[in-house]
Amino acid sequence: MRLHLRLRLWVALALGYVLLMAFVHLFHIPLRSRTFHSHYDMSDEGVLEKAHSAVKEMVEKYAKAALKHPGSGAETAEQITLLTKTFKKADSNANEVLELSELSSWIAKKTKEHLTLALRDNIFTFTAIDLDPRNVKLGNVGCSSGVVSWEEFHAYFLKQHGYDDEFIKNHEHNHKGLPREIKEAIMRDKAAWSEAARSDPDQLTLDEFLAFRHPESSHATILNIVEETIAKLDIDGDGQLTSEEFADPEINDVPDGITPERYKEERLKDFKIADEDKNGLLDRKELLSLVGKPYKVVDESCHIEHTSNNGTKAC
- Contact positions vs Ca ion (CB under 5 A): 91, 93, 95, 97, 130, 135, 234, 236, 238, 240, 275, 277, 279, 281
Tell me whether residue 75 or residue 228 sits nearer to Ca ion (CB atom).
228
Q: Kindly state the smallest distance separating residue 253's Cβ from Ca ion, in Å.
A: 15
Q: Kindly state the smallest distance separating residue 245's Cβ from Ca ion, in Å.
A: 5
Q: Kindly state the smallest distance separating residue 34's Cβ from Ca ion, in Å.
A: 29
Q: Kindly state the smallest distance separating residue 13's Cβ from Ca ion, in Å.
A: 13
Tell me whether residue 194 or residue 279 sits nearer to Ca ion (CB atom).
279
Tell me whether residue 186 or residue 281 sits nearer to Ca ion (CB atom).
281
Say how far apart CA 265 and CA 271 lie, in whole Å. 10
Q: Kindly state the smallest distance separating residue 249's Cβ from Ca ion, in Å.
A: 17
Contact 205, 213 (CB under 8 A): no
List Cα–Cα distances, 315 to 25, 159, 209, 296, 303, in angstroms.
Answer: 37, 31, 22, 11, 7
Q: Kindly state the smallest distance separating residue 237's Cβ from Ca ion, in Å.
A: 7
Tell me whether residue 32 or residue 149 sits nearer to Ca ion (CB atom).
149
Say how far apart CA 115 and CA 218 lie, in whole Å. 10
Tell me whether residue 211 or residue 230 sits nearer to Ca ion (CB atom).
230
Tell me whether residue 145 or residue 224 sits nearer to Ca ion (CB atom).
145
138 has which bridge partners?
A: 143
Q: Kindly state the smallest distance separating residue 120's Cβ from Ca ion, in Å.
A: 21
Tell me whether residue 224 or residue 240 sits nearer to Ca ion (CB atom).
240
Q: Kindly state the smallest distance separating residue 42's Cβ from Ca ion, in Å.
A: 19
Say how far apart CA 67 and CA 65 lie, in whole Å. 5
Amino acid at 303: H
Tell me whether residue 70 or residue 249 sits nearer to Ca ion (CB atom).
249
Angle between helices 100-129 and 219-233 (to 10 degrees): 130
